Amino acid sequence: MTVDVAFEERGPMDAPPLILASSLGTTSEMWDAQVEPLSEQFRVIVYDHRGHGRSPVPPGPYTLEELARDVLSLMDRLTIAKASFAGLSLGGMVGMWLGANAGDRVDRLALLCTFAEVRSREMWRDRAARVREAGTASMGDASIDRWFTPAFQAGHPAVVSRYREILAGIPDEGYAGCCEAIETMDLASSLDRIEAPTLVIAGSDDGGATPEVMHSLTGAIPGARYAETKAAHLANVEQPGEVTGLLSEHFAGQ
């Protein structure tokens, strides 16, 4: 069953629609640096995954298909037949599912700092259990170190503090349920079904979705293009101008 996820829109209603999907443990605020410039060209829709931000928090576990069908339901609510889609990490997994399984609804696709197959399902089960027991705030230090390079942390303490607050505010069950969606997903065998023009953006210092992983992802999606920026996992936060430029050019068909 789908849920009515919370969303916000910016830009002309008659412009090409562009949906932005965030990572595990963040909200649509993650895209703040991109929304205004992209809304000059597009009808930008940012939303919160189920269990995150202002969206409903059904009991977990969730599946990746459920998260993706929440997006299709949102498009139906907004009477959008087809949209471009950019997703980072968990958002990128949702984008891959949509591109492979609902290709008629996806115009162009951007995948940031994400992966198509899980190296350790046990790790994600353990993370879900830890969060249900100790809360999302218990993930603060480890998440910050994954999300941002040491140089960015040192130079932008207010930004880092804000993302720690965002993570602590994510409902425990929502975070855990999305961990379980990642634990059970396997997109690798379906990547060759993605027909939407795809841009893959890697963070050079991302310890999870490494450049090697992202190069492999690029090679598995027909016609996909690769770009890399000096960043850890939240590349669009750490390098907002560069990532905005890459997205703008890609979604404009350049």
- Note the pLDDT of residue 120: 85
Number of domains the chain is built from: 1
- Note the pLDDT of residue 230: 98
Whether residue 126 is contained in a domain is answered as: yes
Whether residue 40 is contained in a domain is answered as: yes
Whether residue 239 is contained in a domain is answered as: yes
| Residue 223 zone, left/alpha/beta (φ > 0; ψ -120 to 50; rest) | left
- Better pLDDT: 120 or 19: 19
In angstroms, the first-to-last Cα distance of the chain is 37
Beta-strand pair 43-47/17-21: parallel
Instruction: List Cα–Cα distances, 31 to 23, 27, 86, 235, in angstroms.
Output: 10, 8, 10, 11
Instruction: Determine the Cα–Cα distance for residues 64 and 68; give it in Å rounded to an integer.
Output: 6
Whether residue 1 is contained in a domain is answered as: no
Reported as a pLDDT band with limits 50, 70 and 90, residue 133 is very high
Find the mean pLDDT for residues 82-92: 98
Find the mean pLDDT for residues 100-104: 98
| CATH number, residue 175 | 3.40.50.1820
Whether residue 2 is contained in a domain is answered as: no
- Note the pLDDT of residue 47: 98
In the sheet that 225-229 helps form, which strands lie side by side, from edge to edge?
7-10, 43-47, 17-21, 83-88, 106-112, 198-203, 225-229
Whether residue 102 is contained in a domain is answered as: yes
Q: Is residue 130 predicted with pLDDT exceeding 70?
A: yes
Q: Is residue 254 predicted with pLDDT exceeding 80?
A: no
| Domain span at 196 | 7-251
Task: Say whether 233 sits in a helix, a strand or coil.
Answer: coil
Whether residue 21 is contained in a domain is answered as: yes
Whether residue 130 is contained in a domain is answered as: yes
